[in-house]
Amino acid sequence: MKKLTIGTRGSDLALWQANHIKDELAAIGIDAEIKIIKTQGDKILNLRLDKLEGKGFFTKELEEELLGGTIDLAVHCLKDLPTTHPAGLTIAALPPREEASEYLLILKDCVDVTQKLSLKKGAMVGTSSNRRKAQLLGLRPDLEIEDLRGNVPTRIQKLRDEDYDAILIAKAGVKRLNLDVTDLHVEELETTEFIPAPAQGALAIQIRENDTELFEILQKLHDPETAETVTVERKVLNLFEGGCHMPLGCYCKKENGKFEIWTSKAETADHFPERLFLRAESTEGLAEKIVEKFNKDRKKPAKVFISREIGEHSYFRRALENNDIEIEGRSLIRTFPIVTVLDQFILKHVDWVFFSSRNSVEYFFNLKPVLPKKTKFGVVGRGSEDALRKFGHIADFVGESGDITEVAEDFAKLVAGQQILFPRAQDSLQSIQKSLPADAKVIDLPIYETVIEEDIDRSYADVLIFTSPSNVDAYFANNLLEPGQQVIAIGNSTGKKFDEMGVKYALPYSPDEIGLAEAVFGIEMR
């Protein structure tokens, strides 16, 4: 085959991508050269992206040269490509996707680990993405968001010049360019917490539709699983009729043969974003189902009960109030310390401390533990992580899903041969401990007990959320479900209580306030 010409933008990241594809082609015996093409997005640097006219301002000029025959293929960030193609062009291949998560890069003197995202109160964060702004303000309404343009190295330099306290940037860009950011605090925002743009981290190789020979060659670079998942994300974007200025995040992954997909959408960058999590057997009709869930006319719960006190400014409260949903929050249990003085000797050689609840964090640190500097912290989920931050510590391991079996398996991979302390409730099921490798040394430390309240009043809310097995026992000691009431259970152990009762329930992906908000938003009212 003749020597191919690859069209690309001239930024460092675009050139890395084009050279990566050039190397991949060379590995299968195809010679190629690179042609740099300036796009509208490269030329206009004084305007926010959502102020530019039309769509495809990082891709249009490449597509024109492709149609004109001056290049043979164009390499794009897939998220920059409009969801509808010009006549005569097609995406021939989608190589394996890079990680889609985000990096929050923070100047070290602006770090405050006691705050969500490790960012000091009122910090100024640079981003020109409406999606990022909406989700940031959803998590931290105290932040100031300022525009940030330029290629990846330029953005990072602007942070180093102290134009901002922090910036938000795709992890893939930092990794691909192998940039050294050790002088900054790096907070990685997982895709389940901070939902990326549709197709973030994915590359697209675009060619002329009639170039069938090249299409066949490029199948050697194509990754079917990447194609399967990003196609769902881009279909959601297409159905919402949005471009990259829309405050829309969508991320799909395949896990254990099922598709898991997260969506975040706000009216504008300044509005609180709605979030949804769905799990499906196939991608058929999945995008349409997601878009239907965001229909303003869809019937939602009028009132939600949760067996926990909910703070005035909590994420969960703001998410529900944004949908005019009333919250009834009351704990059905009380907790009491059973240890008042801690034997500091047992902490001398601890490698890990693992917390399975907010209560275990608070009761443990109230005992003023003195831990070795090497000690790492594991938590069952983001709720426990937030509690840990209040005591000035960042978790080294955070359980990502609400499935305690998965969390246990992931944690077990890290702790072979090490000593792990488990501060816990006296009646804890100890699910994590039971999954550890045989050579892990467990130190068991019951530090508080749970007492069930008596004579609990029933709730007439549309949705009942139970935060622990104890709360289930407390509520159903004297109450039954009302007709039409639906149940959400936090965690597998709480879910098992309902399995025993023969009650259907929804299980949030993550056992925290974000996961709960997603679960409530996903409820189908009968």
- Residues recognised as catalytic: 80
Name which of 344, 393, 407, 332 is nearest 371 in CA terms: 344
Residue 364, token pair as written in the block: 């443990």
Name which of 341, 412, 333 is nearest 378 in CA terms: 412
Name which of 310, 394, 322, 348 is nearest 117 in CA terms: 394
Q: Please give the Cα distance from 171 to 174 (Å, whole number).
A: 5
Q: Are 150 and 158 in contact (CB under 8 A)?
A: yes
Q: What is the DSSP letter of 212?
A: H
Contacts of 334 (CB under 8 A, 6+ apart): 450, 451, 453
Q: Please give the Cα distance from 260 to 518 (Å, whole number).
A: 13
Q: How many CB atoms lie within 10 A of CB 61?
A: 20
Q: Three-class SS string for 296-340?
A: CCCCCCCEEEECCCCCCCCHHHHHHHCCCCEEEECCCEEEEECCC
